[in-house]
Structure 1
Amino acid sequence: MTRTPQDVLAAAVRGLAPDEDANRLVPEFAAGRAPLAALTAFALEQRHIITGDRHAFRHLARERTGEPAARAFFAALAEGEDLALDHLAALSGTLGLDRAVADDYEPLAGCQAYPAYTAWLALNAEPVDVVVALSANFAAWGGCCAAMGRALRAHYGLPDGACAFFDFFARPDPRLRERSLAAVGEGLAAGRLTGAARRYGRLLQEYELMFWNTLADRTL
């Protein structure tokens, strides 16, 4: 049976869906029990994660693939990280985090494992496999961000501007979806999609969970 790009991405999202009970931080925010120190650490860690991921996506777009749809997908991700940094600045400002505080902050290894692995993928993985792995992870990440946005408004009184970072990732981008389908279609046609895509996606999910739970261990 011939696989379509829709089949590939749907199977990845379904097969790599995370265990909701494994995340120990998001439910604490959802219940209004997490301290603001956890959100402060989140924002400081994300500054490193986003800048690292942006470089990885640019490398994938410019150096690792010659296929136009894959290039467009990764270029769009890099541009999205620029927007995410703007939204993160609004959140950081609400939390009273200035540039000096951000520069002095020492990131946690458990939080930075995710961007370290993204960089590894940018250097070593077949790009279409990375498209599939990231697409599955974005679905899980988006769900967490949606829950965070609701919680921060309901329990912590944060304004919309401060929650824009979470809203940005919580809303699926139909244009990015089309780009991912096109990139997977290219990969299927060229025979480049491999069985490693699932492994990459599983590890991304586990590293993201490590991010949340490292923050939980440090702040709860």
Structure 2
Amino acid sequence: MTTGARELLETMRARADIDPLANPFVAAVVEGRAPVASVAAFAAEERHIIPSDRRSFLLLAARAEEPVAVEFFTTLAQGENLVLPMVSALAAGAGMAGPALAAYEPQAGCQAYPGYVAWLALNADPAGAALALVANFAAWGGYCAALAGALRERYGFDDTSCAFLDFFATPAPGLAEQAVRAAQEALDAGRPLTHARRYARLLHDVETTFWHTLAAVAH
């Protein structure tokens, strides 16, 4: 029996770890063990990731064959535009002001994620990439929600400082459904999306590397 897009997405999600406290960086922040400098590093890494992901999403939109996939990736790119200014506020809340933020040197372990998203933009079937991306959204949203709560409770961050995390803590309605529709249209058109599970697995792995790299800063 041919696997449908929704079933394919569920198999991808099953592999993703959605327990925030299994994430070593999130756990350190939730428990108050992480130095505030590691939170600043998180914000500084995101400052490099966001523009890269925005360009990748726009390229995926340009390459996509299904109109719903074009809409999906365009929405993601617009979201990156919205959150980029919020990163500076998060960094400032962690004591990293403008010049220090601009001078920050990103770490390879954190930048592996946008590097792989850029690879997807150049090489992947956009419909399969859309499924892979939404497969990790629940975990990412859970991590952001946990971080936002802990930074307020344990570190005294205000709403402005936590706006970046709050944005992702509640997934945008309809994104997963758009990805499923795009993938189903691709499957119905005879494109088997053979590598979609691989895309999801590697995205999960490079995101895990991102968090473990930050966890090393938190010690």
Q: TM exceeds 0.5?
A: yes
Calculate the TM-score normalised by the size of structure 2.
Answer: 0.92
Are residues 158 and 21 of structure 1, via their aligned partners in 2, closer, same or farther at CA, if it must alter by over 3 Å? closer
Query: CA deviation digits over 1:11-57, x for unaligned, max 9?
Result: 22123336767532111111111110110100100000111111100
Are residues 16 and 219 of structure 1, via their aligned partners in 2, closer, same or farther at CA, if it must alter by over 3 Å? closer
CA RMSD of aligned residues (A): 1.8
Q: How does 1:52-201 map to 2 (within 5 A)?
A: 52-62=52-62, 64-201=63-200
Tell me the distance in 1 between the aligned counterparts of 2:151 and 2:190: 45
Instruction: Tell me how far 1:102 sits from its aligned partner.
Output: 2.1
User: What is aligned with 1:15?
Assistant: 15
SS at match of 2:106: coil
Tell me the distance in 1 between the aligned counterparts of 2:91 and 2:74: 26
Q: Contact (CA 8 Å) 1:18, 1:205: kept in 2 or not?
A: no
Consecutive unaligned residues of structure 2, counting only runs of 5 or more, are none
Query: What is the count of residue pairs matched by the alignment?
Result: 219
Instruction: Tell me how far 1:178 sits from its aligned partner.
Output: 3.0
Tell me the distance in 2 between the aligned counterparts of 1:33 and 1:215: 13
User: What is aligned with 2:26?
Assistant: 26
Instruction: Tell me how far 1:138 sits from its aligned partner.
Output: 1.3
Consecutive unaligned residues of structure 1, counting only runs of 5 or more, are none
Tell me the distance in 2 between the aligned counterparts of 1:106 and 1:192: 41
Query: CA deviation digits over 1:71-126, x for unaligned, max 9?
Result: 11111110011112122132123234333222211100111000001000100111
Tell me the distance in 2 between the aligned counterparts of 1:108 and 1:208: 13
Q: Contact (CA 8 Å) 2:145, 2:169: kept in 1 or not?
A: yes
Pick which of 106-115 and 178-187 moved more: 178-187
Are residues 193 and 128 of structure 1, via their aligned partners in 2, closer, same or farther at CA, if it must alter by over 3 Å? farther
Instruction: Tell me how far 1:184 sits from its aligned partner.
Output: 1.9
Paired AA for residue 28 in structure 1: A
Instruction: Tell me how far 1:216 sits from its aligned partner.
Output: 1.5
User: What is aligned with 1:46?
Assistant: 46
Tell me the distance in 2 between the aligned counterparts of 1:216 and 1:16: 19
